[in-house]
Amino acid sequence: MQGEDDLKGLAKIMGFMRAVSIILVLMHFYWFCYSFFLEHGWVLEIINKILSNFQITAGLFSHLLYTKIFAVVLLALSCWGTTGVKNEKITWKKINITLLIGVLLFFFNGLLLNSLFKYSIFFYILTTCSGYIILMISGVWISRLLRTNLMEDVFNNENESFQQETKLMQNEYSVNLPTKFYYKGQWNEGWINVVNPFRATIVLGTPGSGKSYAIINNYIKQHIEKGFSMYIYDFKFDDLSTIAYNHLLKHTNKYKVKPKFYVINFDDPSKSHRCNPLNPDFMTDISDAYEAAYTIMLNLNRSWIQKQGDFFVESPIILLAAIIWFLKIYDNGKYCTFPHAIELLNKKYADVFTILTTYPDLENYLSPFMDAWQGGAQDQLQGQIASAKIPLSRMISPQLYWVMTGGDFTLDINNPKEPKILCVGNNPDRQNIYSAALGLYNSRIVKLINKKGQLKSSVIIDELPTIYFRGLDNLIATARSNKVAVCLGFQDYSQLIRDYGDKESKVIQNTVGNIFSGQVVGETAKNLSERFGKVLQKRQSLSINRNDTSTSISTQLDSLIPASKISTLTQGMFVGAVSDNFDERIEQKIFHSEIVVDNEKVASETKSYQKIPQIMNFENKFGEDTMKEEIHSNYQKIKTDILSIVENEMVRIQNDPHLKHLIQKD
C-alpha cells in the first residue's frame, strides 16, 4: 500500500509540473501576442498586473526564449514520471524525428511575430502549440522507452561481460598474449598470462577459429625466445616447422648451448634427418619394447584403443614386442630398428618362433603363440600372426625405412649438453601410414624427456587426434616437476574421445591446467561453460496491460560464458582459463577476449622466412641425383640383414643339441 501511495503522490507532482508548464505557455502567448488579444477584447487587468510582476522580479518575459525554455524544462520533468502502456513500435528513430520537428516548431518561429503578414500572430500561436504538443509526445515516448527498454542488449552482452586481467605477468617460462575484452560498454586492453605452462595447455577450436595463428604459433615463438628445447608435431608439414626454424635463427643467443634443428619428413628424404626411434642404447628393459609395439599397433588400428586387453589385440602387440627385444639383444642391438622388425615379422612364422623361443627372456612372452602352435590350433595362430602382419605391411616403404634406420641424432631433445628443436612432419594424405611411425617417435621422446636434471622443454602437438600419443596422460600428470610444457591443439573433445577412448580422454581433459577455446559446439561447449562457472546476473521482466507498464528487476546465478556464446565465437575470439603459481597469483583466471595479433608484423616476418634447407645431398661426384638408388639400396640391405639373421640363427640352433629338437617340431 505504501508503494502505491508513493506512486500516486509522484503522479500528482508530475501533473502539477505539467499544468504549470502549460500555464506558462498560455501566459507567454498573452504577453508576446498582447495586440492579438487586445484586438479581440480578451484582455484582463488582473492578468496584466501578474505578468508585470513576473517581468520585474523573475525576468521570465524579458525575452521570447526564457518562457519557452522554462516551460520545456517543467514539461521534461513531468514526462520523466509518466506511466502508461509502452508501445513496442516506438523506436529511437521515431523519437528523434518527432523531437526535431517539435524543437523547430516551438523555438524557431519567433520571426512570425515581426512579420507584416496579417495572420502571422495566429500562425505563431498555432506553431508554438503544435511544437509543444509534439515535444510532450516525444518526452512521454522517451520516458517509457528508457524505463522499459529490454531490446538494447538482446544478447545479454553486458551481463555476461566481466573484468579480466589487465596486468602483464612475465617469468622465464611464461607465454603472454595481448587481448582486447568488452566490459562496461567499452573495449579494454588486457593480457592472458600463462605463467605456468608446465601444467599443460589445451587449445580447442573448429577449423578456421584461429587456434594455430593466435596461440600455438605464439607458444613456439615465445618458448624459443626463452631457451626451451622443443618437440613439434607438424600435421601439415612444414607450417609450424618453418616458423620454428626461422625463429631459432634469430634467437640462438637465448641458449647457453646452441641447439640443433632436426626434421623428420618421410615425404622428402632429402629434407629429413635420419633417426632410429628404437635406439638400443635407450632401451633398458623389455617393457620398453612392449611400449614401442603398443604405440605402433594402436596407431595402425585405432579401434583397438577401445579394446585394450582383448586376446586378439594383445597377441600381435606381444609378438612385435618380442621381435623388437630380440633385435635389441642380438649382436649388441646392431639391427635394432623398426624396419628390421617389420621384415623379421614377415618371415616364416615357424622360423621366427623357433629362433625367438631359444632366448629365455622371450619364452614367457611367446607362450600364447607356442601353445597354439604346439596344440595344433593353426587357425588361431594364423589369426594372431595376421593381426600383426596385415597392419604393419602398410608401412613397408623404402623412404620410411631410410629415415628410421639412421643415426643423425638421438631423441633426448632436452639433454643440456645437446639441446634440440625437433619437428616431425605428417601428411594428411598419408596419415594412416605415417602416424604409426611418428607415434613411435612420440612414445620414445616421452620416456626420454620426462627425467630430472634436463633442460626445460616444450612439446607442441597440433591436431592431436591424428596420432596416438602413448603415455600422454601420464606426461601431463607427472612432467610438471621436470619442466616439460605440453601444448595440445585439436578441434573438439568428441575427437579426443573417438581416438583415445573415453577414460584416457577424460584424464587428459581434467588434468590440464590452462585451456583456450575458440568456436566449439555441442557437448564441448557445454562442458566448457560448466568449467567456467556461474555469476550473479540481473534479469528484467516487463508487464504491459491496457492502463500501465511495469518493470521488475531480479538477480539469479547464470552461466558466466554460456554454451551458446562459445558456439558462436568469431575468428580470433577465445574463452578459457589459466592456472597460477604460489608466488604469482592471478585474480582473473577466466577470460573471454580477442587475442591481438599484429597481422602486419606477422606478414612481414613470413615474407622474410627462409625455407628449411636441404639436409641430405644425394648427388654423386658427377652431379647426378642418386636418391632413389641409395634409398633402394638401404631397403635391400635391411632385407638382406634379416635373411642373414634367420639363416645364422637356424644354423646355430641346428648345431646345438639342446635346441635341435625345436626345428624338428616345425
Rounded Cα distance between 66 and 33, Å, is 15
The full 3-state SS of 123-154, as one line of letters, equals HHHHHHHHHHHHHHHHHHHHHHHHHCCCCCCC
> What would the pLDDT profile of 507-533 be if each residue is shown by its tens digit?
888 899 999 999 999 899 999 999 888
Rounded Cα distance between 641 and 56, Å, is 121
- Name the pLDDT band for 255 (thresholds 50, 70, 90): very high
Rounded Cα distance between 589 and 569, Å, is 19
pLDDT higher than 80, residue 49: no
pLDDT higher than 90, residue 170: yes
Given 146, 178, 204, the domain boundary residue is 146
322 within domain boundaries = no
Segments in 90-226 forming alpha helices (H): 92-107, 120-147, 157-160, 211, 217-225
**φ, ψ (nearest 5 deg) of residue 20:** -65, -40
> What would the pLDDT profile of 174-205 be if each residue is shown by its tens digit?
999 999 999 888 899 999 999 999 999 999 99
Q: Rounded to whole angstroms, what are the CA distances from 540 to 546, 549, 551?
A: 20, 13, 7
- Name the pLDDT band for 11 (thresholds 50, 70, 90): low
529 in the same domain as 424: yes
Give the three cell numbers for residue 471. 603415455
Least confident of 49-53, 102-106, 365-369, 584-588: 49-53
pLDDT higher than 80, residue 413: yes
> What would the pLDDT profile of 277-296 be if each residue is shown by its tens digit?
888 888 888 888 888 888 88
308 within domain boundaries = no
Q: Which of 148, 147, 139, 157 is nearest to 76 (CA)?
A: 139
5 in the same domain as 109: yes
CA-derived radius of gyration, the chain: 41
Q: Which of 540, 554, 551 is nearest to 83 (CA)?
A: 551
Given 96, 122, 146, the domain boundary residue is 146
Give the three cell numbers for residue 187. 573495449
Rounded Cα distance between 285 and 307, Å, is 25
Strands 514-517 and 573-577: antiparallel
Rounded Cα distance between 217 and 211, Å, is 9
**φ, ψ (nearest 5 deg) of residue 228:** -85, 140
- To the nearest 5 percent, what fractions of the chain are helix, strand and coil? 55, 15, 30
| Residues, the chain | 666
Residues 573-591 have a mean pLDDT of 92
440 within domain boundaries = no
278 within domain boundaries = no
510 in the same domain as 545: yes
Q: Are 63 and 522 in contact (CB under 8 A)?
A: no
470 within domain boundaries = yes
14 within domain boundaries = yes
Given 124, 146, 168, the domain boundary residue is 146
Residues 310-317 have a mean pLDDT of 75
368 within domain boundaries = no
Cis peptide bond N-terminal to 6, omega within 30: no
571 in the same domain as 470: yes
Q: Which of 105, 165, 164 is nearest to 131 (CA)?
A: 105
Rounded Cα distance between 179 and 575, Å, is 11
Q: Which of 281, 621, 265, 239 is nearest to 460 (CA)?
A: 239
Give the three cell numbers for residue 362. 622371450
pLDDT higher than 50, residue 128: yes
> What would the pLDDT profile of 597-655 be if each residue is shown by its tens digit?
999 999 999 999 999 888 887 766 545 567 888 899 999 999 999 999 999 988 888 88
Strand partners, 575: 517, 592
Domain hosting 160: range is: 152-270+415-434+457-613
Q: Cα torsion at 181, 184, 186, 191 (round to 10°)?
A: -30
Q: Which of 506, 512, 521, 502 is nearest to 477 (CA)?
A: 512
160 in the same domain as 107: no
Strand partners, 559: 534
pLDDT of residue 374: 66
2 in the same domain as 110: yes
CA 247 to chain centre: 23
Least confident of 439-448, 543-552, 570-579: 543-552
220 in the same domain as 98: no
What is the CA angle 408-198-532, rounded to 5?
135
116 in the same domain as 197: no
Rounded Cα distance between 148 and 548, Å, is 11
Total domains in the chain come to 2
Does the global pTM surpass 0.85? Answer: no
The more confident residue out of 380 and 15 is 15
642 within domain boundaries = no
573 in the same domain as 521: yes
Q: Provide the greatest CA pair distance for the chain.
A: 148
Q: How many helices (H) and strands (E) does the chain have?
A: 27, 13
pLDDT of residue 28: 80
Strands 175-183 and 590-595: antiparallel
187 in the same domain as 133: no
481 in the same domain as 599: yes
181 in the same domain as 75: no
Give the three cell numbers for residue 323. 621381435
Burial (0-12, 13-18, 19+ Cβ within 10 Å), 34:
middle
Identify the CATH number of the domain in which residue 237 sits: 3.40.50.300
- Name the pLDDT band for 658 (thresholds 50, 70, 90): low
CA 586 to chain centre: 20
